Amino acid sequence: MGEVALRFYAELNDLVPRPRLTRSFVGSPSVKDLIEAAGVPHTEVDLVLVDGQPVSFDHRVTDGARIAVFPVFETFDIATVTKVRPRPLRSIRFVADGHLGKLARYLRLLGFDTDYSAQRDDAELVAISVGESRILLTRDRELLKHGSLTHGLLVRATDPDEQLVEIVARLDLRRAMRPFCRCMSCNGEIATAARDDVADLLPPAVRAVQDEFRRCSRCGRIYWRGSHARRLEELVERVREP
């Protein structure tokens, strides 16, 4: 029987009852096993120090070890030490679980490639995340403990507007935003469409008052500045605020 001291930093404390914990163990567990047993998915962790030295997730702990656990996307300067996570993805792309449909639409609103279906099970979500190098977004922390996952984020907020603000802030995505260039329904790219090209597809009331249109290259949906546009523009501006 052994015992270690765990210290969690910053937003990881949302996931544990208190910042400092002790964990008893039998045998020779990995540091990853102990961290996840405390309730923190490995995808939330960027750096682990054991007795002051950086280690990998498969490091085997010994009795009396002191383990410090730091979060992903933290502001601490850890450039000179070894992180446990792989290098950042070349492009930011997401896959959202079935409970985050509105967040998926909002991420598309900001221009982020976001795969979503309400029908997928956990295995499908993990396969898409790994196979397509997408960040898995979920409120299910057990899902993020899947061993093959490398990029995932536990969404803390429950309100979709707040979820969007949270994701953009935690991943520092403000400079990468390209609002109104992606279809909120199917995730396809949208571009300006000539009025004459879409006129026959428009409701008469819209055709009579609107002159500017955009069309999705994937599903063909036509967009114009309707009554809901101001609400979406306000959301975009809110997310842009530091």
The pLDDT tens digits of the residues spanning 57-68 come to 999 999 999 999
The pLDDT tens digits of the residues spanning 9-22 come to 989 999 999 999 99
The pLDDT tens digits of the residues spanning 183-214 come to 999 999 999 998 888 888 888 888 888 888 99
User: Exposed, middle or buried: residue 241 (CB in 10 Å: 0-12, 13-18, 19+)?
Assistant: exposed
Residues 73-101: what's their mean pLDDT?
Answer: 71
pLDDT of amino acid 207: 81
Contact yes or no for 167/121 (Cβ under 8 A)? no
Share above pLDDT 70 across residues of the chain, in percent, rounded to a whole number: 93
Predicted model pTM: 0.84
State which amino acid sits at residue 13: N
Residues 37-46: what's their mean pLDDT?
Answer: 94
